[in-house]
Homo-oligomer: A and B are copies of this chain.
């Protein structure tokens, strides 16, 4: 096994605006040997997530940027193919943060075992993993939907958004999804069971959103920003809560010098006069809730009340193009790269 070549996708240069293929570089190297306490992993699935756009930039954020020439970061599901750690055996399936590569060496302490009999192992990167937990913790801890309230989420067919709407409904709230295109909208309404769905590509999007929210919006789970925010903001009710989880629509833009009139004074005015809560978060702040999330979510998946869709791309070499498409909303469901079988 260790005679295999390790394929890696490295950050070749930092993008200005949308990432392009030449910001990434495919390299091959040797696989290496685990030291004492380490294991050698063969990566099965790589998760592609919008937050990775932030890691490609040098700007200060809650996490360090990826260095030029370093392997792109990312969550992975992997098989242990050699173990020098007592807790792991060859053949174990684990969650790791091994990045965009086909093999990796990892310390045992950084890994979490996955039970392949409980659910498809890929769900550890989606509905049962970081995206599902982001939805759960942000919605319930910050959004706090009450029965009968209206919860709006964009990218509603995606990994986070699909879970937000379904969990909102499980808690008795009304879920309104926003997505781009008829296929996604039909899926959100018919398969995920949202109460209403609005296509942000419609020329009458703002008006259609208002019609879908006749009682206003009590919780807006913000994961896109941009034009969706413009349509949502006037509909927020007094005491509405806005967990801010992502801003995919502006990740490729310079925000230091955004054109147009200044919307901050108006936003602050409404935050004041409507007693709004706007709260940024990342899921690891709520890590204490992870075990409870796993129990609840596994139950919901088992009884069919929490559904999910995966969009699986084959081959690590296709990861850059898939990631570029993710930022444009081209994926349909949780985007994963199948690195090996």
- Asked whether, in the complex, the Cβ of B247 is within 8 Å of the Cβ of A269, the reply is yes
Cross-chain contact of A259 among B262, B267, B285 (Cβ < 8 A): B262
**A282:B275 contact, CB within 8 angstroms:** yes
Interface string of A233-266 (1 = CB under 8 A from B): 0000011000011110010010111111111111
Q: Are A275 and B285 in contact (CB under 8 A)?
A: yes
- Asked if A112 is at the interface of the complex by the 8 Å CB criterion, the answer is no
Instruction: Say if the beta carbon of A272 comes within 8 Å of chain B.
Output: yes
For residue A3, CB closer than 8 A to chain B, the reply is no
Whether A272 contacts B244 by the Cβ 8 Å rule is yes
Residues of B within 8 A of A225 (CB): 265, 268
Stretch of A39-47, A54-62, A327-335 that contacts chain B: A54-62
Residues of B within 8 A of A60 (CB): 273
A246/B272 in contact, CB under 8 A:
yes
| Number of A residues with CB within 8 Å of any CB on chain B | 44
User: At the interface, yes or no: A281 with Cβ under 8 Å from chain B?
Assistant: yes
- Given contact pairs A278-B271, A278-B278, A282-B275, A262 touches B262 in the complex (Cβ within 8 A): yes
Q: A261-B259, A269-B250, A273-B62 are in contact. Are A279 and B278 (CB under 8 A)?
A: yes
Contact: A262 with B260, CB < 8 Å? yes
Is A201 engaged at the interface, CB distance under 8 Å to the other chain? no
Residues on B with C-beta less than 8 A from A262 are: 258-264
Chain A interface, >50% SS class: mixed
Q: Does A277 contact B (CB under 8 A)?
A: yes
- Scan A100-127; emit 1 where CB is below 8 A from any B CB, else 0: 0000000000000000000000000000
Contact of A265 among B61, B258, B265, B281 (CB under 8 A): B258
A266–B258 CB distance below 8 A: yes
Number of copies of this kind of chain in the complex: 2
What residue of chain B has the Cβ atom nearest to residue A245's Cβ?
A: B272
Mark interface residues in A71-108 (1 if CB within 8 Å of B CB, else 0).
00000000000000000000000000000000000000
Structural contact, B273 and A280, CB atoms closer than 8 A: yes
Q: How far is the CA of A256 from the CA of B54 in the complex (A)?
A: 31
B258 touches A263 (CB 8 A): yes
Chain B residue nearest in CB terms to A271 = B280
Task: Determine the chain B residues whose CB is within 8 A of the CB of A267 once the complex forms.
Answer: 264, 267
A143 smallest CB distance to B (angstroms): 13
Query: How many Å lie between the Cα of A258 and that of B265 in the bound state?
Result: 7
Contacts of A258 in B (CB 8 A): 261-266
| CB of A303, distance to nearest CB on chain B (Å) | 33
* Chain B CB within 8 A of A297 CB: no
Q: Does A168 contact B (CB under 8 A)?
A: no
Q: Which residues of B contact A277 (CB under 8 A)?
A: 277-280
Quick check: A253 and B265 within 8 Å, CB to CB?
Answer: yes
- Contact of A64 with B by CB under 8 A: no
Residues of B within 8 A of A244 (CB): 268, 271-272
Are B62 and A238 in touch, CB under 8 angstroms?
yes
**CA gap between A259 and B275 in the complex, in Å:** 25
Taking a contact as CB atoms under 8 Å apart, the answer to whether B280 and A255 are in contact is no
CB–CB B274/A280 < 8 A: yes
Beyond A245-B272, A256-B266, A258-B262, 4 additional contacts (C-beta under 8 Å) are A247-B268, A259-B262, A263-B263, A277-B280
Binding site for B on A (CB under 8 A): 54, 60-62, 222, 225, 229, 238-239, 244-247, 250, 253, 255-282, 285
